[in-house]
Amino acid sequence: MRRFTWFNATSLTFGFAFLYMPMVILIIYSFNASKLVTVWAGFSTKWYGELLSNQAFLDAAWVTLRVGVASSTLATVLGTMAAYVLVRAGRFHGRTLFSGMIYAPLVMPEVITGLSLLLLFIGIGLDRGIFTIILAHTTFSMCYVSVVVSSRLVSFDKSLEEAALDLGCSPFTAFRLVTLPIIAPAVVSGWLLAFTLSLDDLVIASFTAGPSATTLPIKIFSAVRLGVSPEINALSTIMISIVAVGVISASIISKRAAIKQQQEEMAAVRSS
Amino acid sequence: MAQTVFAPWNDPQAKPLIQFKNVTKRFGDFTAIDNLSQDIYEREFFALLGPSGCGKTTMMRMLAGFENPTEGQILIAGQDMAGVPPNERAVNMMFQSYALFPHLTVWDNIAFGLKRMNMPKDQLNARVEDMLRLTRLTKFAKRKPHQISGGQRQRVALARSLARAPKLLLLDEPLGALDKKLREETQFELMDIQEKTGTTFVIVTHDQEEAMTVASRVAVMDEGRIMQVATPANIYEEPNSVYVADFIGDVNIIQGKAHKTSADGYDIAWAEGHEPFHAKTSIQLDEGQNAFIAIRPEKISVSPDKPEGAVNAIKGQIVDIAYLGNVSTYHVRIPGGLVIKAQAANTRRLSRRAFTWEDEVWLSWTLTGGSVLSE
């Protein structure tokens, strides 16, 4: 059913052009030799070099990286626990409410999340800085992790855990030795997703960041207000590649795991 | 030479390994187990047999510790199991889905339970090798569960659950996923392993043939209650109710009114204007009480003429013949419209068989050919 028609080709080209043209232009101009963003003056990588000697950007990048790793790790732990409880605990009073409450931040406007966190941090007298950004990012990315992990847990054969208990495991050992290795691909792609979200976030970070810590998106945004420089283009290109790698590897990991699982199930059906 | 028959349930001195004492289990409004008491003895191969939803799996899960009884007590080796979690019970279970750990090799699957016991390394290796040998899996030790066949997986599951040398092994529909031929082979293998290891086995199944083949005693369950517990032969020959008779094998049930004729003889008047059927039984019935005769098809003989001196004989017409190779089942309509199934061995070749459709034949059986049941 692979039919090549002019109509298909045109709609494909327009669709992808619409989605990716801005990014492609940005990437191309990051290799522009000219200082003027809109004038092409030949290929050069000098803005990448310049970027590396800009201490303010490097500091912001370092903050962003630390926030990303810390918050996505925290979010993965909390999100996996939440998913486990919601899928496994069976029916308890208020279960629907609980799962609704976990997924609510998915649809909550970021401005509201950011503002409420800001109020909370001021209320409890927490100085804004890298720690508050980590907390804020954990808060909104853990629900994404929990969605990814719970969809894997739903198809997980519960008798595997029972077998582990039956063979002498405590509930925690059963989780560590049986459940976790089997759901590991989902947990890893949850982590990558959380990391990518944290890297991208501008709104929540600007509410919760303090003068001591600025993330890369905040830095870029404030720099752009003074005019777009080719340096920003270079930086954005690097961020696009990191995010692309994260998203693509997350989807490859979960796809591979799904295919492998399917093959194992097929093998099981065929031989029994 | 006197052979001792294995029947601890008839020995009042014998101590049961498992005791259910007035156990009730409710899930919300649904009563899965209804005030059930039952003893199971050491080295027994005990089968819980019943349709789905009869509570047999719930009984097993309570023994494993995955469910707690709502009321009553479960004792294993005299110890009350209330509140003892599954990992602290000397009980292992073989799951219906086998529940093999997909990320571990066959060897590691079998070693999994032993590692939790902090067994010394050399002892552990020796035990796993023993288990592999017992279940003929040595060649597959390094494979993952998805790289072996269904029958092999079933044996891995068995080896894994036996590795910790449990006092009690629970088997939840262990052969359900195997095809018929492999299932029959495996049944004998199971019995062999049970005998070799001396472990008490409790098996849950809905397949009555399987229960009859492997078990020392069979418990027939319905709606959370045990209807009858007996050896396979007694369950088949002396069912205590229409439900059990009907559940195990093929049976003809004839309903009628009881009339006492001697100390243990009854006439069952089953239709107006016909001679009542005669039967011998140890149960006591009231005069005119509703009663049933349950007769197995193979206990009824089919003949062209009225057999001389037959206690029970009735004329009918063949409406259907089911040819099964070694035996044929004749469906014979007797006066009153009731269709009786009678089975005859095909000792002759098909072409020389005596009866065909619409033939008039006589059905007959002896005084003890049928069981008299009151419910």
Please report residues of B whose CB lies closer than 8 A to that of A178.
Answer: 101
Q: Give the whole-angstrom CA distance, residue B31 versus residue B34.
A: 6
Do the Cβ atoms of A167 and B96 come within 8 Å?
no
Task: Report yes or no: A60 and A175 within 8 Å, Cβ to Cβ.
Answer: no
Banded pLDDT at A135 (limits 50, 70, 90)? very high
Q: Return the residue of A nearest to B87 by Cα.
A: A168
Q: What percent of chain B has pLDDT over 90?
A: 46
The residue-averaged pLDDT of B337-347 equals 88
A267 CB within 8 Å of a chain B CB: yes
Is the pLDDT higher at A266 or at A191?
Answer: A191
Q: Return the residue of B nearest to A260 by Cα.
A: B146
pLDDT mean across residues, chain A: 86
* A269 has a pLDDT exceeding 60: no
Asked whether residue B346 is assigned to any structural domain, the reply reads yes
* B36 has a pLDDT exceeding 70: yes
pLDDT of residue B3: 55
Of A90-94, B1-5, B234-238, the least confident: B1-5
Banded pLDDT at B342 (limits 50, 70, 90)? very high
Which of B87, B95, B177 shows the shortest C-beta gap to A169? B87
The CA-to-CA distance between both ends of chain A, in Å, stands at 34
pLDDT of residue B196: 86
Asked whether residue B1 is assigned to any structural domain, the reply reads no
* A270 has a pLDDT exceeding 60: no
Q: Give the whole-angstrom CA distance, residue B80 versus residue B91.
A: 14
Please report residues of B whose CB lies closer than 8 A to that of A165.
Answer: 65-66, 85-87
Of A70-84, A99-113, B28-42, B341-355, the least confident: B341-355
Domain extent for B281: 250-373
The residue-averaged pLDDT of B172-190 equals 84
ipTM: 0.81
Same domain, B85 and B193: yes
pLDDT mean across residues, chain B: 89
The residue-averaged pLDDT of B13-29 equals 90
Residue B268, beta-bridge partner list: B258, B277
CATH of the domain at B348: 2.40.50.140
pTM of structure? 0.79
Q: Determine which of B112, B158, B162, B182 to mutate to test the interface with A (most A C-beta atoms within 10 Å).
A: B112
CATH of the domain at B227: 3.40.50.300
Q: Which of residues 153-182 of A touch B (CB under 8 A)?
A: 157, 159-160, 162-170, 173, 177-178, 181-182
The residue-averaged pLDDT of A176-196 equals 91
Do the Cβ atoms of B93 and A264 come within 8 Å?
no
Which of A162, A166, A264 shows the shortest C-beta gap to B102? A264
* B48 has a pLDDT exceeding 90: yes
pLDDT of residue B1: 44
The residue-averaged pLDDT of B49-57 equals 89
Do the Cβ atoms of A272 and B178 come within 8 Å?
yes
Same domain, B67 and B216: yes
Q: How many CB atoms lie within 10 A of CB B156?
A: 25
* A235 has a pLDDT exceeding 50: yes
Same domain, B190 and B102: yes
A127 CB within 8 Å of a chain B CB: no
* A261 has a pLDDT exceeding 80: no
Same domain, B223 and B259: no
Digit-coded pLDDT (tens) for B55-82:
899 999 999 999 999 999 999 998 999 8
Q: Give the whole-angstrom CA distance, residue A52 versus residue A257.
A: 38
Same domain, B162 and B273: no
Do the Cβ atoms of B92 and A167 come within 8 Å?
yes
The distance of B116 to chain A (nearest Cα, Å) reads 6
pLDDT of residue A1: 52
Do the Cβ atoms of A181 and B103 come within 8 Å?
yes
| Long-range pairs for B181-185: beta carbons < 8 A, 24 or more residues apart | B182/B150, B182/B151, B183/B210, B184/B213
pLDDT of residue A78: 95
Digit-coded pLDDT (tens) for A19-47:
888 888 888 888 888 877 777 888 888 88
Q: Structure tokens of B279?
A: 């039967």
Same domain, B91 and B235: yes
Q: Return the residue of A nearest to B96 by Cα.
A: A159
Is the pLDDT higher at A210 or at B108?
Answer: B108
Q: Which domains does chain A have, with CATH numbers?
A: 44-267 (1.10.3720.10)
Task: Report yes or no: A40 and A106 within 8 Å, Cβ to Cβ.
Answer: no
Do the Cβ atoms of B99 and A159 come within 8 Å?
yes
Q: Determine which of B57, B84, B95, B114 to mutate to test the interface with A (most A C-beta atoms within 10 Å).
A: B95
Q: Return the residue of A nearest to B64 by Cα.
A: A166
Same domain, B369 and B292: yes
pLDDT of residue B352: 59
Please report residues of A whose CB lies closer than 8 A to that of B102.
Answer: 182, 264
Which of B103, B146, B178 shows the shortest C-beta gap to A267? B146
* A272 has a pLDDT exceeding 50: no
Same domain, B364 and B275: yes
**Domain termination site, one of B222, B243, B264:** B243
**Domain termination site, one of B243, B261, B294:** B243
Q: Give the whole-angstrom CA distance, residue B6 versus residue B2.
A: 13
pLDDT of residue B138: 92
Which residue, A74, A213, A67, A207, is CA-closest to A138? A74
Please report residues of A whose CB lies closer than 8 A to that of B85.
Answer: 165
Which residue, A6, A62, A26, is CA-closest to A224? A26
**Domain termination site, one of B179, B210, B243:** B243
Domain tally, chain B: 2
Q: Structure tokens of B316?
A: 């009918």
